[in-house]
Structure 1
Amino acid sequence: MKENKIILIDLNMTGFGHFEFNKNVINHISKNRSMIFFGESKLVDILFKNCIYKNNIKFNKFFFPDANSKIKLLFREILAIIYITLIFISLSSRKKTIEFYFLSVIPLTHFYVKLINVFFSYKVTIFLHGELEAFKKQTNLPSFKYYYSIACKAIKIFNNYFKYIVLGESIFKNLNKIINTENISFIDHPYSYDEIFHIEKTNKVISFGSVGKAIIGEKNSHLIFKLADFIRNNNVSNIDNSKFTIVGTLSKDLHSYANDYVDFKEQSGMLSDVEFETRILTLDFILFFYNSDSYKYTASGAFFDCIKYEIPFIAIKNDFFNYYQEKYGPIGYLEDDYESIEKRILLILNASEEDKLNEIKVFKNNLKTMKASLKKHTNNFFENIK
């Protein structure tokens, strides 16, 4: 066992937040070394159940409220600043070198960490997520744009002892156009790539679906209902050869868009792991309705569900999807806009059975290759953490 010097902290997420990312980073780092993890109580409980090398990890819980109001945002910042001050001071007496990895951190606390570390000189690495959206001129977080821009400003100052990691080369390249990326590196979003047991199809129905919680906004989840209605009314000769599904739950504001052509679960909270996997494995294509400016600075977790389950996608072109399609070959259909998605699905449904199977086979072979490559690259990245 290597000397215990690795400290992982999440000063943002609660409960299942960033579950796949946190779980996989912890499992990779704790594989051959001991480490300490600090996080919100429910998040720690969930991660503890899903960590492989529990004996190598010392878990520490703290109270952290959800960010569902501006007052709570401020309260979270105050608590996070107190927590990080206490953690930094408590470890300062140790003779061994301490290295911190922030899996996620809220903006003001991010800025504060940069300031307080002037006195401690710890080596600090911070993973960057949705806060990078503040670099966009138009963002899906308009009311919090200035709040998140604090983190963007923090990235640029006091960079001795600090490193950053973004979740994708396309994100790194976009950042490189607007800021100095000398202390920034990239890694593909860490994900679980366990062996998948595919369900053998017993009919010729082509199943399309969205993955994750269906919401209005940048995700444009309401369009799956519009799409299913369009296909139902424009595919008369093959009216029963398609199915539309939401692998996840619906936000309340989506119920007014619902129709009988899309299958979805009426429940709050997340689907169980078994139910999620059962439903996603029925899909032939995963649908994305994000616009072309999406995923410019942030990664898509649902995109990696495509990779894990070897299911091709149909999506509107964006930098993130384009990058992987160019690198690994066709792994789905990239379209110019929503109307092109409608046309693409009609083409798929009206193609011969042989053409459908051959095209899907090409996609799946490339997805298998991509999955093996991502798994190898991720392993190599974390093995280099000493």
Structure 2
Amino acid sequence: MRKNALKIHYIDPFAWESAHEMFNSSLLWMCTQVTSVNVICRATKSSIGAMKRLLDKAGLSMQRVSRKTVSTIGGHGRYALLMRYLWGAWLLWWHLVFSVRRNDVVILPFNNLFALKGINFLCKILSRKVIIFCHGEMEFIASQINKKGLLSRLLCYRCLNFFANPHTQLAAGLYFSVLGQKIKQNLEPLLPESFGSHLFSMAHPYLFFEPQQAAHKKNGKLTIGTCGAMTISKGALSMVQFAELCRSEKLEVDICHIGMVSSGLQEMIQSGIRMPSPQYTLSREEFDRQVDQLDYLLFFYGPENYKITASGAIMDAIALGKPIIALNNDYFHYLFDNFGVFGILDSSVEDMVAHVKQILRGTLLLKGDFPTIRTHLSPRSILPEFERMLQTI
């Protein structure tokens, strides 16, 4: 490592095990492609292991990365999650004070809402340059969903108190990035004017491996379902409605959900939805194997969802070549308009069921140019957007 070279500090004391592994891996690799910089990665041991495994599989090197593990508090429960937020906030503040020089750039792949005010304060007094990548937490600004439970209420309060507060004065060197130009357009009117020149957008990068060919069935039983983390706010009850309509219509479909279920589990069980792993996280390999057995992927994020956040599960559909049958929302429209159509967007659950009927009759075949879409969303293709961001700050 060159001693006096500019450094990029990739710091993530929050991600544990496979959390956000595809985005984090892609972002870390893009940091290594910036010329004349050294990259220091401070992350948890399990997160570094997950990123290295994926980058090795994709043939992308981590050799230019100096890896330094940070401690964390593991576990999937709400208390473990809360402690991970709080401990992660302290670690972020510590490293901003003691590990970063004035001209270095700090990349935070996760937006820890408990750390935001402290980060802003330290950027002001220490002249730090920080880019924070925003994810699902930004939905608190746009909608009333997912505000049950103490942790959700705390996160909502901290999000609104910072991003929707007209008195928030951002440090000159603090910037935020969302994952898509449409998300930026939807978010800008909701933020104070002071955020205007501090908000970037970048398409969601993803590591794609061996292309999979979706197996479309014109006759017989279809296997369709959802993937990723499922909650009521992500459409669990709409999926229950979909399953009950299919059953009442006596459609030959096998409906399943692949991934954990945080809320709405009992309703999904009662509706006959098959779930291989509702209460534990599958390995990436097993997750991909299970999703690859589906003919089509379903998405029940309605128009009130995904106005100002991206979806990782839709990237899984693209990676595995699975056309989608989905409720209409802004983010999916953005993907269709900018990268290519790979399914159908409906205005209601009833319309989704009607299209399943057409597929079963052989009068509808959904497809997409997945190789081209994968190329456009690869880290190599998105790298210029990331580099322009760094040149601006």
What's the TM-score bracket when you normalise by the shorter of the two chains?
A: 0.7 to 0.9
Residues 106-121 of structure 1 mapped to structure 2, 5 A cutoff: 106-121=112-127
**What's the offset of the Cα at 1:165?**
0.8
Q: Distance in 2 between matches of 1:72 and 1:137?
A: 22
Matched AA of 1:194: F
Q: Distance in 2 between matches of 1:192 and 1:160?
A: 33
- Asked whether the equivalents of residues 6 and 35 of structure 1 are also in contact (C-alpha less than 8 Å), the reply is yes
Matched AA of 1:214: M
**What's the offset of the Cα at 1:68?**
4.5
Q: Distance in 1 between matches of 2:12 and 2:215?
A: 40
> Are 1:194 and 2:188 counterparts?
no
2:20 alignment counterpart? 18
**What's the offset of the Cα at 1:266?**
4.7
- Asked whether the equivalents of residues 134 and 152 of structure 1 are also in contact (C-alpha less than 8 Å), the reply is no
RMSD: 3.1
> Are 1:227 and 2:227 counterparts?
no
1:101 alignment counterpart? 107
Q: What 5-or-longer segments of structure 2 have no aligned partner?
A: none
Distance change >3 Å, CA 47–CA 374, structure 1 → 2: closer
Matched AA of 1:87: H
1:319 alignment counterpart? 330
**What's the offset of the Cα at 1:304?**
1.2
**What's the offset of the Cα at 1:86?**
3.0
Q: What 5-or-longer segments of structure 1 have no aligned partner?
A: none
Distance change >3 Å, CA 48–CA 307, structure 1 → 2: closer
2:229 alignment counterpart? 213
Percent of residue pairs identical: 21
Indicate which of 149, 170, 179 corresponds to 2:182: 170
TM-score normalised to structure 2 length? 0.82
Matched AA of 1:26: L
- Asked whether the equivalents of residues 226 and 298 of structure 2 are also in contact (C-alpha less than 8 Å), the reply is yes
> Are 1:348 and 2:356 counterparts?
no
- Asked whether the equivalents of residues 184 and 201 of structure 2 are also in contact (C-alpha less than 8 Å), the reply is yes
SS state at 2:302 partner: coil
CA offsets 1:23-52 (integer angstroms, 9 cap, x no match): 111122224653111223432343344344
> Are 1:378 and 2:378 counterparts?
no
Distance change >3 Å, CA 126–CA 154, structure 1 → 2: farther
Distance change >3 Å, CA 78–CA 229, structure 1 → 2: closer
1:292 alignment counterpart? 303
SS state at 1:263 partner: coil
SS state at 1:108 partner: coil
- Asked whether the equivalents of residues 111 and 135 of structure 2 are also in contact (C-alpha less than 8 Å), the reply is no
- Asked whether the equivalents of residues 214 and 322 of structure 2 are also in contact (C-alpha less than 8 Å), the reply is no
> Are 1:283 and 2:305 counterparts?
no
Matched AA of 1:58: S
Residues 1-386 of structure 1 mapped to structure 2, 5 A cutoff: 3-31=5-33, 34-51=38-55, 52-65=60-73, 68-69=77-78, 73=82, 76=84, 79-91=87-99, 97-141=103-147, 143-144=153-154, 145-152=156-163, 156-179=168-191, 180=193, 181-198=196-213, 204=219, 205-215=221-231, 217-235=232-250, 239-240=251-252, 242-251=253-262, 254-258=265-269, 262-266=273-277, 268-350=279-361, 352=362, 355-356=363-364, 359-360=365-366, 363-365=367-369, 367-375=370-378, 377-384=381-388, 385=390
Distance change >3 Å, CA 78–CA 372, structure 1 → 2: closer
SS state at 1:380 partner: helix
Distance change >3 Å, CA 61–CA 134, structure 1 → 2: same
SS state at 1:364 partner: coil
**Which of the pair has the greater relative contact order for Cα pairs under 8 Å at 6+ separation?**
2
**What's the offset of the Cα at 1:232?**
3.6
| Count of aligned pairs | 370
> Which has the greater radius of gyration?
1
TM-score normalised to structure 1 length? 0.83
- Asked whether the equivalents of residues 11 and 105 of structure 1 are also in contact (C-alpha less than 8 Å), the reply is no
SS state at 2:293 partner: coil
Q: Distance in 2 between matches of 1:159 and 1:201?
A: 52
**What's the offset of the Cα at 1:5?**
0.6
